[in-house]
């Protein structure tokens, strides 16, 4: 059985990444890794589903234990991918999506060069600001902090394997599946298929 693919999926906050992922995860073979973070849970967020919400001390203890595939600081908080959320699933042939910011994404690309990296960009920075305001979960100050963080992130988009502009949700989701389909057809992953074709030759 082929191993699952590790998918690095980054998008500045407000790019519609959450809605895109909800659509993608309707497809059963994908799993989104649950990260650990030291930020407060937002209303409606559930521990163990959206994130593992832990203290700074707990986070630092996990760093010492080498429990993270990667971790990064973002807007004054820690965020990290737990190895336990990734490798067992890949072994079982499940594709694992890491929804992470750019610093962490670069680390994963370096440590796991076989991963597929996708950056989701907004159609424009002004549209991004409009979406963040509409969401209404953050203060104006936090929104401006996130917009400026986003501009820095977008400038790194070219380091990813693929860029999807999320203008219309349906198109963005179909771009994602097109990427995954092409990735799976890459010759270097076709060992099982070729063996099957050659059987009884
Ligand atoms: P939010 O606070 O909006 O949930 O997430 C803020 C940023 O942290 C987003 O860009 C999100 O992709 C990123 N993030 C979430 N989990 C992780 C993680 O495990 N590692 C890293 N490096 N970034 C993460």
pLDDT in tens, 141-156: 988 988 998 899 999 9
Distance (angstroms) between ligand 1 centre and the Cα of 80 equals 8
Q: Does the residue 199 lie in any domain?
A: no
Q: Does the residue 200 lie in any domain?
A: no
Question: Contact at 8 Å (CB) between 81 and 98?
Answer: yes
Distance (angstroms) between ligand 1 centre and the Cα of 63 equals 16
Per-residue pLDDT band at 162 (split at 50, 70, 90): very high
- Does residue 175 have its Cβ closer than 6 Å to ligand 1? no
* CATH label of the domain that carries residue 49: 3.40.50.300
Q: Does the residue 76 lie in any domain?
A: yes
Q: Does the residue 182 lie in any domain?
A: yes
Question: How many domains would you assign to the chain?
Answer: 1
Beta bridge partners of 186: none
CA of 68, closest atom in ligand 1: 19
Measuring CA to CA, which residue among 116, 118, 120, 99 is closest to residue 183? 116
pLDDT (0 to 100) of residue 170 = 96
Whole-angstrom Cα distance, residue 5 to residue 148?
Answer: 32
Q: Does the residue 85 lie in any domain?
A: yes
Q: Which residue has the higher pLDDT, 113 or 138?
A: 113
Name the residue range of residue 50's domain: 6-194
- Does residue 38 have its Cβ closer than 6 Å to ligand 1? no
What region, left, alpha or beta, does residue 5 occupy, with left being phi > 0 and alpha being psi -120 to 50 degrees? Answer: beta
Which H helix or E strand runs over 96?
A: strand 95-99
Residue nearest to atom 9 of ligand 1 (CA): 101
Whole-angstrom Cα distance, residue 181 to residue 99?
Answer: 19
SS3 content of the chain, % helix, strand, coil (to 5): 45, 20, 35
Whole-angstrom Cα distance, residue 158 to residue 140?
Answer: 29
Distance (angstroms) between ligand 1 centre and the Cα of 196 equals 41
Prediction pTM value: 0.90
Q: What is the pLDDT of residues 54-75, one digit of tens each?
A: 999 999 999 999 999 999 998 8
Residue nearest to atom 2 of ligand 1 (CA): 39
Q: Mean of the per-residue pLDDT values for the chain?
A: 93
As given in the structure block, the two tokens for residue 55 are 């203290």
What phi and psi, each to the nearest 5 degrees, are found at residue 49? Answer: -110, -55
Scanning the chain, the segments in alpha helix (DSSP H) are 17-24, 56-64, 87-91, 102-111, 125-135, 140-154, 169-184, 191-198
Q: Does the residue 168 lie in any domain?
A: yes
Cα–Cα distances in angstroms (integers) from residue 70 to residues 15, 20, 47, 60, 103, in the given order: 22, 23, 20, 13, 9
Residue 43 CB: number of other CB atoms within 10 A? 5
Residue nearest to atom 22 of ligand 1 (CA): 104
């Amino acid at each position: 059985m082929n191993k699952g693919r590790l998918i690095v999926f980054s998008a500045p906050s407000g790019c519609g990444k959450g809605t895109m992922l909800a659509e993608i995860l309707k497809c059963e073979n994908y799993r989104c890794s649950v990260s650990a973070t030291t930020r407060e849970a937002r209303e409606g967020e559930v521990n163990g589903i959206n994130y593992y919400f832990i203290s700074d001390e707990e986070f630092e203890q996990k760093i010492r234990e080498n429990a993270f595939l990667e971790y990064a600081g973002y807007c004054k908080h820690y965020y990290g991918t737990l190895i336990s959320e990734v490798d067992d699933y890949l072994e079982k042939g499940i594709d694992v999506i890491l929804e992470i910011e750019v610093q962490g994404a670069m680390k994963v690309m370096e440590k796991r060069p076989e991963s597929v990296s996708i950056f989701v960009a907004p159609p424009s920075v002004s549209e991004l600001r409009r979406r963040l305001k509409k969401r209404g979960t953050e203060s104006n100050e936090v929104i401006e902090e996130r917009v400026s963080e986003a501009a820095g992130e977008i400038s790194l988009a070219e380091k990813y394997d693929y860029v999807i502009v999320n203008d219309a949700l349906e198109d963005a989701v179909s771009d994602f599946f097109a990427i995954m389909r092409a990735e799976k057809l890459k010759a270097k992953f076709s060992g099982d298929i070729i063996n099957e074709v050659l059987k009884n030759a």
